[in-house]
Structure 1
Amino acid sequence: MALQARSSGMAFRKILTHFPEEVSLAFAYGSEVFRQAGASASQKNPMLDFVFSVDDPVAWHSKNLEKNWNHYSFLKRLGPRIITSIQNNYGAGVYYNPLIMCDGKLIKYGVISTKTLIEDLLNWNNLYIAGRLQKPVKIVTINENVTLRSALDKNLQSAVIAAFLMLPESFSEEDLFLEIAGLSYSGDFRMVIGEEKTKVMNIVKPNIAHFRELYESILHESPQVVYKAQQGRLELDKSPEGQFTQLMTLPKTLQQQINYIVDPPGKNRDVEETLLQTAHDPDCGAVVRLGLSAIVRPSSISQSTKGIFTAGMKKSVIYSSRKLHKMWKGWLSKTF
């Protein structure tokens, strides 16, 4: 297994050499990196997914257009500044080029500004790449950006807190990891149209050890939970005081969404007052879930719409048909 991990890491780094070097963070994810159950596991020629965080998207796209002109749709003719404007100002701040053959592998890669990524990790502005980084990924390269590294850690801590608010007083590790993995799918329209219904379960079940590796130290250090690692069980403080403490540490955008849901128009109470009311609400977890959906739904729709233009019509049709085929296979495997 260690040998296989090293060889795959080398393959990922080799793929990275086909792109401009100025990348602050590059990671690979998906069923080609971490095994998934269900139809994803048996898909022929599965696509390897990457995200590249870059400090200067205009400069990066300019160099990438020189090296990989054919990766881009018709938008390449508008130049790197327009590409960067589309990347930053529409959808979730990511520009994807899918269905690229690189070193004999079919890949998709997304480009995001480091500044946009850090803001999403800290505030959950759209919970798109931040949500991806709450699940196990393979870091291919990361520079010494202290702010970025701190934001990556804060994103994991926030994921644990949000999951706590939606869980009962006693639960298993698997329950926790299912909640965490599902955060960024709350309200995602693709879970209805394009993704397998059991996607979250398929991600978590074969990768419990990888989730544990991500979250174990956070769980041991949290004063609000008793983590019985040997039994794989956790016991949580579900008192209103405990829930208020958790709500107050949630990312800013989620707090604002909860405030909007709970606070009737015209009252204009401050966020702290609304969160205190939510902490005493028996449906506190349901309110948090609604807040997550309010973040994820619009960003998932706008990012997918943007993908039609960034990928081009032909690739969009092929990519969508692959997604629908995978969903259909998942449905058939459960029906028969």
Structure 2
Amino acid sequence: MVLQSLQSSGVVIRQILSHFPEELSLAFAYGSAVYRQTGPSAAQKNPMLDLVFTVDDPLRWHSRNLEKNWSHYSFLKVLGPRMITTVQNNYGAGVYYNPLIKCDGRLIKYGVISTSVLIEDLLTWNNLYIAGRLHKPVKIVTMNENTTLKAALDKNLKSAVNAAFLMLPESFSEEELFLEIAGLSYSGDFRMVVGEDKTKVLNIVKPNIVHFRWLYGSILQENPQVVYKMHHGRLELDKSPEGQFAQLMALPKTLQQQINHIMDPPGRNRDVEETLFKVANDPDCSAVVRLGLSAIVRASSVKQSTKGIFTAGMKKSVVYSSLKLYKMWSGWLRKS
């Protein structure tokens, strides 16, 4: 049964958090255990609870967590908290996951990421990994008074809207917009070819329109480039070259650089603004943006998945991959 109580009080998650060190700048839960999904996940009675812990001092946090939860870690624990922190910060997408953990009778997976690393991802999309998780509704359980982090979380949502606008026509529905937003962090993810249900994005969005609307409603109402007819669930967008240029200029730095790399022939050395102006006038603007997103996500998903073999350990990696493949297979069976 999906943890419906999480949507109101978060009591269950708070109880789980009591087993971990308290120094968290942000903790949130996501996935089918928090928000109902259609597809294979809907059939699971007790889906795994996915959590992310953001910490200011990963070395201190892992040191304390090893004392409390030694069994959660792979063989890397014998190398100590400094090595775990190095692996977390310097490889993959900057997050360290411990999957398939039994806690208070529930199966959980939790990732640990440095506050500074998360802020960089939220602002620049250098990995679009945890930033991409935060494009979708999540259950925030705890958050401290870090104003820089709060501003970065807000900027990440506005960036998601801008990127989605560039891939949509002049008129579209709320659902079409939210499908584009939810799909940003899956563009180019090799796991969508092997390991994930192909209808994953639709399964996330369709039963959660109200939660997406809560997340993005005020951003859409305040955006001067779109007319948001909330009562009709429709939007009208400025698709002029000037409008697209403004959206391109508002994209995170890494995506702008990827677009520049795609469009700039060897030896031309065009600056980013010049390239974005050219793309804004290009009929294939949406395709170029999608290619840029794919380049970011492909690299981070491959690196993070490879890193997972070491952070989870071989046995857990095999079990976790098998669960993903089962969900993908179930999705195929439902479609056939």
| TM-score (ref. length: structure 1) | 0.98
Partner of 1:256: 257
Partner of 1:171: 172
Q: How many percent identity over aligned positions?
A: 79
SS of aligned partner of 2:135: coil
Q: How does 1:262-273 map to 2 (within 5 A)?
A: 262-273=263-274
**CA offset digits 1:13-61 (Å, max 9, x no partner):** 1111100000000000000000000001112431100000000000000
Distance 1:82 1:125, change over 3 A: same
Structure-1 separation of matches of 2:50 and 2:180? 23
Partner of 2:47: 46
Q: Tell me, yes or no, if structure 1 residue 289 matches structure 2 residue 290.
A: yes
Q: Tell me, yes or no, if structure 1 residue 328 matches structure 2 residue 329.
A: yes
Letter in 1 for 2:182: A
Letter in 1 for 2:24: V
Q: Tell me, yes or no, if structure 1 residue 235 matches structure 2 residue 244.
A: no
SS of aligned partner of 2:166: helix
Q: How does 1:53-68 map to 2 (within 5 A)?
A: 53-68=54-69
Structure-2 separation of matches of 1:45 and 1:257? 40
Structure-1 separation of matches of 2:111 and 2:5? 25
Contact 2:25 2:54 in 1 (8 A): yes
Letter in 2 for 1:281: D
Q: CA deviation at 1:209?
A: 0.2
Letter in 1 for 2:274: E
Q: How does 1:110-189 map to 2 (within 5 A)?
A: 110-189=111-190
Partner of 2:223: 222
Distance 1:176 1:333, change over 3 A: same
**CA offset digits 1:121-167 (Å, max 9, x no partner):** 00000100000000000000000000000000000000000000000
Letter in 2 for 1:238: K
Contact 1:51 1:112 in 2 (8 A): yes
Q: Tell me, yes or no, if structure 1 residue 208 matches structure 2 residue 213.
A: no
Q: CA deviation at 1:333?
A: 1.1
Letter in 2 for 1:229: M
Q: Figure out how many residues of one structure are paired with residues of the other and give that number.
A: 335
Distance 1:268 1:302, change over 3 A: same
SS of aligned partner of 2:269: coil
Unaligned runs of 5+ in 1: none
Contact 1:43 1:326 in 2 (8 A): no
Q: Tell me, yes or no, if structure 1 residue 303 matches structure 2 residue 304.
A: yes
Structure-1 separation of matches of 2:184 and 2:286? 12
Q: CA deviation at 1:292?
A: 0.1
SS of aligned partner of 1:156: helix
Structure-2 separation of matches of 1:312 and 1:43? 25
SS of aligned partner of 1:197: coil
SS of aligned partner of 1:193: coil
Structure-2 separation of matches of 1:57 and 1:319? 25
Distance 1:6 1:185, change over 3 A: closer
**CA offset digits 1:85-105 (Å, max 9, x no partner):** 100111100000000000110
Partner of 1:85: 86
Structure-2 separation of matches of 1:83 and 1:270? 39
Partner of 2:71: 70
Q: CA RMSD in A?
A: 1.3
Between stretches 313-322 and 40-49, larger displacement belongs to: 40-49
Partner of 2:22: 21
Structure-2 separation of matches of 1:184 and 1:282? 23
Distance 1:331 1:93, change over 3 A: same
Structure-1 separation of matches of 2:303 and 2:195? 15
Q: Tell me, yes or no, if structure 1 residue 278 matches structure 2 residue 279.
A: yes
Structure-1 separation of matches of 2:24 and 2:5? 25
Q: CA deviation at 1:265?
A: 1.1
